[in-house]
């Protein structure tokens, strides 16, 4: 059975990933967990690297800001 992520267009997938990471990052900040927030930032950067490698028009900075609010 095909999952939802494989049916999304790349732009929608970018938004989905950023939204999930943003919720996790916001939760870490609310819990005053700087190590967890930094780990989520690292994951966001890793996703940005991978997404950027597949799409020359991918905006890495916009994605990281959307994922972390930084």
User: Measured between alpha carbons, how far is 36 from 24 in angstroms, rounded to an integer?
Assistant: 9
Whether the predicted pLDDT of 2 surpasses 70: no
Domain membership flag for residue 50: yes
Query: What angle do the packed helices 10-30 and 34-54 form, to 10 degrees?
Result: 170
List pLDDT tens digits, range 28-53.
Answer: 999 999 999 999 999 999 999 999 99
Predicted confidence at residue 42, as pLDDT, reads 97
Domain membership flag for residue 5: no
Domain membership flag for residue 51: yes
Domains: count for the chain: 1
Query: In 8-70, which ranges are continuous DSSP H helix?
Result: 10-30, 34-54, 60-68
Domain membership flag for residue 2: no
Share of the chain above pLDDT 70, in %: 87
Predicted confidence at residue 3, as pLDDT, reads 59
User: Measured between alpha carbons, how far is 26 from 61 in angstroms, rounded to an integer?
Assistant: 18
Residues 6+ apart with CB under 8 A from 42: none
Domain interval for residue 36: 10-68
């Amino acid at each position: 059975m095909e999952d939802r992520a494989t049916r999304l267009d790349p732009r929608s997938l970018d938004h989905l990933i950023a939204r999930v990471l943003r919720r996790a990052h916001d939760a870490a900040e609310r819990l005053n967990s700087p190590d967890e927030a930094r780990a989520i930032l690292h994951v966001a950067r890793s996703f940005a690297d991978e997404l950027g490698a597949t799409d020359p028009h991918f905006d890495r900075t916009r994605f990281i800001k959307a994922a972390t609010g930084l």
